[in-house]
Amino acid sequence: MCRSASRLFAIAIWVFFSATLSAEEMRADPDNYKRQISRLKPGDTLLFSPGVYRQGLFINGRNGSPGKPITLAGGGGRPIFLARPGQDTVVLHDSSHITLRNLEIDGRGVMVNGVRASGNFAHHIVLEDLFIHNLGRHQQVVGISSKCPAWDWQVRRNIVIGAGTGMYFGNSDGNHPFWGGLIENNLVMNTIGYNLQIKHQNPRPRLPGMPLEWPVPRRILGRGTQSGLEPCARTQDAGAVNSGRA
């Protein structure tokens, strides 16, 4: 009995340390960051050195797992990602369990979005402490946008200044639903159009891993005059400073 218990304990310790050691903390700079992104796996953290990144941030098919998100963050200061024509600056494409933290996104007045989710899904996404600015070329240029089925997002402590629209979740035709998200303690200023808009939603698609129901959302408390939330968005107010669950 004692021998079996000791064996089980040894196996548990081995599994714990194997899981711990399998997650890596990597460093990136403007020269190697694309290569580093291609290596990311569940639980990894990629720290960007301060500097100017001119080729955008394209996260394609990167998927963490529950309890093991893939984190991309500024290390020792915010790295600056510069917009360039023809491609949104930060793209989350068919990706999940991703955390973006402490990044600066300079739209440079170019006709592209700051952060945009695309593809077939983007779920369990965390956007924290982002500084997004200079996206005021047109009202359709958005600071943070989802253009695919998106669920379980956390959007907090971000600053969006001078965008056409601050945050825009969903699509004008009711497709690309956004739900189960938490949006809190963000500052959105000097937009041409809305600070925050969550679109109405058609019946949601059935996707692998997608929960069918969430608890009743808590009421949003906020201030501002440029929030736009449509009747089926299950949300009430947002504004320059916002807090709540969609």
pLDDT computed for residue 6 by the predictor: 52
pLDDT at 103: 98
What pLDDT digit, counting tens, does each position of 81-108 carry?
Answer: 999 999 999 999 999 999 999 999 999 9
Containing 71, the helix (H) or strand (E) segment is strand 70-74
* Residue appearing with tokens 């009743």: 216
Q: Which two tokens stand for residue 38?
A: 């291609």
Instruction: Report DSSP state, residue 96.
Output: E
pLDDT digits (tens, 9 = 90+) for 111-146: 999 999 999 999 999 999 999 999 999 999 999 999
- CA angle at residue 46 from 162 to 50, to 5 degrees? 55
Distances (CA, A) of 160 to 104, 209, 234, 239, 241: 10, 31, 23, 12, 11
Q: Is 133 left (phi over 0), alpha (psi -120 to 50) or beta?
A: beta
Residue 47's region, left for phi above 0, alpha for psi from -120 to 50, else beta, is: beta
Closest to 187 (Cα-Cα) out of 217, 167, 207, 212:
167
Q: Please tell me the distance from the alpha carbon of residue 161 to that of residue 135, in angstroms, as a whole number.
A: 8
pLDDT one-digit tens code per residue, 160-219: 999 999 999 999 888 889 988 999 999 999 999 999 999 887 877 777 777 776 555 554
What's the mean pLDDT in 223-233?
A: 45
Q: What is the pTM of this model?
A: 0.82
Token readout for 4 is 């079996």
Instruction: Tell me the per-residue pLDDT of 54-70, one tens digit each, with 9 for 90 and over.
Output: 999 999 999 999 999 99
Residue pLDDT, tens place only, 21-31: 578 999 999 99
Q: Residue 196: what pLDDT?
A: 95
